[in-house]
Amino acid sequence: MTAPVVRPPAQGAGRWARPLGVLAGAAAAFTYVGLVNPNRPGHYPVCPLYALTGVYCPGCGGLRCAHAVATGDLPTALHDNALAVAAFAACAVLWVRWVLRTRRGLPATVRISGHWGWFFCVLVAVFTVARNLPFGGLLAP
């Protein structure tokens, strides 16, 4: 059995390449969605699940939500997909944590116990079911 290869954290300016690359990618995606309005037909494909069944998946409304976030309209973003707003916020927090750990020269590891994984799976399932029921109209895009 071979031992796993453990690489030391990058030194100097190279250690900033990954967090800055992720930031540039996220900024480019939000800029594009902010400029190309998903509320106008023809720019983005329709959700296949919704097109075939009329059922909203957990991602339905995500592009409209990202457009609303990019243009600074938080109430509309929460209406279009509240779970996506929470995910955007969680990604921002994790990115800041990554930058702070990089600044201190620490490895950028995130360990999530299995209980949290199950919690998020149940949360997504409950969100999906709730937004498709008659009383979940506030969660539907």
The C-alpha atoms of residue 116 and residue 122 are separated, in whole angstroms, by 10
Which of 140, 135, 120 shows the shortest CA–CA distance to 55?
A: 140
Joined together, the tokens standing for residue 113 give 């116990």
Q: What are phi and psi of 111, to 5 degrees?
A: -110, 125
Each residue's pLDDT tens digit, 41-58: 888 888 899 999 999 999
Helical axes 17-35 vs 74-103, angle rounded to 10°: 170
Is residue 11 very low, low, confident or very high in pLDDT (cuts 50, 70, 90)?
A: low
Is residue 3 very low, low, confident or very high in pLDDT (cuts 50, 70, 90)?
A: low
Each residue's pLDDT tens digit, 107-134: 877 777 788 889 999 999 999 999 999 8
Are 67 and 34 in contact by the 8 Å Cβ rule? The answer is yes
Are 18 and 9 in contact by the 8 Å Cβ rule? The answer is no
The pTM of the full predicted model, rounded to 2 decimals, is 0.81
